[in-house]
Amino acid sequence: MPSGARRSVSFGVLIAWLGVTSLGAADPPPPNPRPLQEGHAYILTARLDPATHTVEGTATITWRNESRVAVRELWLHRYLEAFRHARTVFMRESGEQLRGVRFRGGGGLDVHALTWEDVDLLAGVDDDPEADDRTQLRVPLPREVAPGEQLTLEARFTAHLPPVFARSGYHGDFHCVAQWFPKLARLEPDGTWATFPYHGHGEFYADFARYELDVIVPSGWTVVATGARQLPREGEPTADGVRHRFAQDHVHDAVFVAAPWFQRLSARFEGHGRTVEVELVHPPGFGHAAARHLEVTLAGLAHFAEHFGPYPYDQLTVVVPPAGADGAAGMEYPTLFVTAGPWLHVPGLPMALLDEVTAHELAHQWFQGLVATHEVRWPMLDEGITEWATGDLLERLHGRRRSGVSLLGVDVDGFEIRRALALRGRPTPPPARPVTAFKSGYAYGRSVYFRTSVILETVARTWGRARFRRALGRYARTQRFRHPTPDDLFAAFDAEYGPWMSREILRPALFEGALSEIFVAPLERDGGHTRVVAERRGLPIPRRVELRGPSGRRGLEWPGDAPRLELREEGEWTSVWVDPDGHALLDADRRDDARGARDGWDTWVARALTVAQALLGAVGP
């Protein structure tokens, strides 16, 4: 989709609601390496007690050893243990806060029983492999499990929800029940368990599986969850409430959200050979804003399906949290995400920020929902690619310079904002680092979110957006239902551009933090000629160069394989502009990308306009 294009999303919502149109051409089915539900499955039951904010649960976990070696132990995650006290790894790394929401205590996950073949496995567990942290559970087995062998665990547990914090918990009657059950770590093909404590800035990594979920809540409550609702759709009365059933194949997590006052909007997305029922729940009084969240969701389903392959599930649920539940806002789960934003949407407001969280969490349905990367090890493959996809969707909805914010009536390029946030200020580690390399959430966000997206956007603008989308789309389609690494991303881009792309651009930028900076010398006049000298340091990114003067404008191409540009041009040129279109975003200081004649007034005018271009994202005058 071309940058700057606009569409009437309201019209798209209307026709999607009526279900009378297809929003895109049919795609071939994505690669599916195996019937994953046969090897891995979770059958979960949950009884929510809103008075004590606890969940009494059981789990039947089927798991197959898909590695090349026999294993004699299992590792499980108990993420809610991160909220047991202030000394856990999560609390130490996050400073007892996340996104401005402070920790208020009260969480935990007690496993009461864990058996295999009627053998009690709890007697030999190591539930504190990291000092003061019980988010991992090491479980020795009574015998080896051979490659290809399958086992079934039975568990009984109690989840204690904290006051809503770090993606999970309660606020009044609102309950976001996430990371609530003992969950197997992923066993890599070499027999290594991908286990880790719950980190302050990392999230989750697991096998794809079939999930079946039974949730019992008080009568009159609404429940939404991962997967499609099973019959009866409105629940089945029980002695202590109403039972709601959900099921989904090929997902790597399950979550449910419950409240007694949810209001609903629904729509049907049809396109790319798929029909998706979209359900949005929101608090009373949020109806106008909720309608906008639904608009963005439907437009995003079409946009991302076009470029990354169709959304493969029958159901997508969007949750708008109530005021005060910010700790649960802005979080993705398979087939369900929690958005954020004010209670009122103002049509025509020249800002895309109100749409950004919905766009971002929807993009996560592809990265890391379908392309299930190891976020603790490679967070850039999750958050960085998602951040680029977010900006790309916002440009589709609002246009390039309406996809950021409005500053004194001037629309600012959203990726220019990301560039400024990523490259200005104290240096941070390059994006291709594990979450433990970042000492603060600020450094993590600048590098993993913004710098990665700026690197990707530089490639898109420099070598063409359609070509970039083909490369990223190849990655998204071939790695669907898999667990790729950066090498898989590079292979997809090299297949589109050639091996130079990863060797000369992506690897140095992502792993080493390489930039592409320009220095332009003042122009010198030599008789009837003008001498232009410019140098590029860092990545070999080509630039467009524009000479300006009394005779008009003249455009030149500066190839990527030439680190120095030296010209002697006939005529009187008063200024030179490098990259006037703002394609090469990996330049920390754009003030020296334009020059006038030595000691002339036009030197200062050129520099001032370059700074304005960098700040506003506008094309040079």
Confidence of residue 424 (pLDDT cuts 50, 70, 90): confident
Per DSSP bridges, beta strands 336-338 and 315-319 are parallel
**Burial (CB count within 10 angstroms: exposed 0-12, middle 13-18, buried 19+), residue 426:** exposed
Token duo for residue 27: 């795609």
Residue at 533: amino acid letter: V
Question: Which three-class secondary structure state does DSSP give residue 425?
Answer: coil
If you search the block for the tokens 């103002």, which residue do you land on? Answer: 346
**258, 281 contact by CB (below 8 A):** no
Report pLDDT for 611: 53
pLDDT in tens, 485-503: 999 999 999 999 999 999 9
* pLDDT above 90 (res 354): no
Q: Chain centroid to CA 82: how far?
A: 22
Mean pLDDT of 42-50: 98
Give pLDDT, residue 96: 74
- Rounded (10°) CA dihedral 469, 471, 477, 479: -130
In angstroms, rounded to a whole number, what is the distance separating the alpha carbons of residues 539 and 157? 53
Mean pLDDT to the nearest integer, 191-217: 95
Q: How confident is the model at residue 401 (pLDDT cuts 50, 70, 90)?
A: low
Distance in angstroms (rounded) separating the CA atoms of residues 332 and 179: 12
Residues 368, 369, 374: CA angle, nearest 5 degrees: 40
Query: How confident is the model at residue 350, as a pLDDT?
Result: 53
Distance, CA of 398 to CA of 411 (rounded, Å):
10
Phi-psi domain of 409 (left: phi exceeds 0; alpha: psi -120 through 50; beta: other): left
As beta bridge partners, residue 525 has: 530
Dihedral (C-alpha) 11, 17, 20, 24: value to the nearest 10 degrees?
70
pLDDT value for 598: 53
Tokens of 139: 């479980």
CB 266, CB 279: distance < 8 Å: yes
Q: What is the pLDDT of residue 231?
A: 93
Look-up of token digits 């000298």? 533
621 vs 547, higher pLDDT: 547
Question: What is the C-alpha to C-alpha distance for residues 618 and 154, in angstroms, rounded to an integer?
Answer: 60
Kindly provide the b/e burial profile for residues 106-127, where b requires at least 16 CB atoms within 10 angstroms of the residue's own CB: ebbbebeebebeeeebeeebeb
How high is the mean pLDDT of the chain? Answer: 88
pLDDT over 80 at 12, yes or no: no
Q: Using CA of residue 428, residue 429, residue 434, residue 436, what is the dihedral sign?
A: negative
Helices (H), 60-190: 89-94
Determine contact, residues 220/234, Cβ cutoff 8 Å: no
pLDDT in tens, 233-259: 889 999 999 999 999 999 999 999 999
Q: What is the pLDDT of residues 503-512, one digit of tens each?
A: 999 999 999 9
pLDDT category of residue 126 using cuts at 50, 70 and 90: confident
Each residue's pLDDT tens digit, 436-464: 999 888 999 999 999 999 999 999 999 99
Residue-level pLDDT at 18: 28
Give residue 351's pLDDT band: very low, low, confident or very high (50, 70, 90).
low
Read off the amino acid at residue 346.
Answer: V
Cα gap 428→446, rounded to integer Å: 8
Contact 451, 531 (CB under 8 A): no
What is the structure's pLDDT at 400? 75
Helix (H, G, I), strand (E, B) or coil at 496: helix
Cβ pair 476, 367 in contact under 8 A: yes
552 Cβ neighbours under 8 A, 6+ residues apart: none
Q: What percent of the chain stands above pLDDT 90?
A: 74
Is the model's pTM score more than 0.75? yes
C-alpha 558/C-alpha 534 separation (Å) is 10
Q: Cis omega (within 30 of 0) on the bond before 232?
A: yes
Residue 129 banded pLDDT, cuts 50, 70, 90: confident
| 188 residue type, one letter | E
C-beta of residue 416 within 8 angstroms of C-beta of residue 582 = yes
Distance CA 31, CA 314 (A): 18
How much is the pLDDT for 349? 62
pLDDT in tens, 310-319: 999 999 999 9
Distance of CA 394 to the CA centre of its chain: 14
Under 8 Å between Cβ of 414 and 482:
no
Residue 493: which region, alpha, beta or left (left: phi > 0; alpha: psi -120 to 50)? alpha
Quick one: CA torsion of 4, 9, 12, 13, rounded to 10 degrees?
160
Residues 569-593 have a mean pLDDT of: 91
- Domain 516-616 fold is Immunoglobulin-like (2.60.40)
Ranges of beta strands (E only) in 173-324 are 174-177, 183-184, 186-187, 193-194, 209-217, 222-225, 228-229, 236-238, 241-251, 256-259, 263-271, 274-282, 315-319
* Closest CA relative to residue 263, chosen from 298, 300, 288, 236: 288
Residue 404 CA: distances (Å) to CA of 349, 356, 393, 456, 615: 12, 9, 12, 17, 12
What's the confidence (pLDDT) of residue 59?
98
What was the pLDDT predicted at 610? Answer: 53
Contact 421/450 with Cβ under 8 angstroms?
A: yes
pLDDT at 596: 84
- Averaged pLDDT, 45-65: 98
Who contacts 35 (Cβ-Cβ below 8 Å, separation ≥6)? none
> What average pLDDT does the segment 115-131 reach?
90
Backbone phi, psi, residue 474, to 5°: -60, -45
Region 78-104: mean pLDDT is 87
CB within 8 Å of 127: residues ≥ 6 apart: 78, 134, 136, 137, 138
**What phi and psi values does residue 177 have, to the nearest 5 degrees?**
-100, 95
pLDDT tens digits for range 585-619:
999 988 888 888 654 445 555 555 555 555 544 43
Residue 500 CA to residue 561 CA, distance in Å, equals 11
Q: How high is the pLDDT of residue 406?
A: 54
Handedness of CA 580, 582, 584, 585 (dihedral sign): positive
DSSP class of residue 131 equals T
Domain boundaries, the chain: 516-616
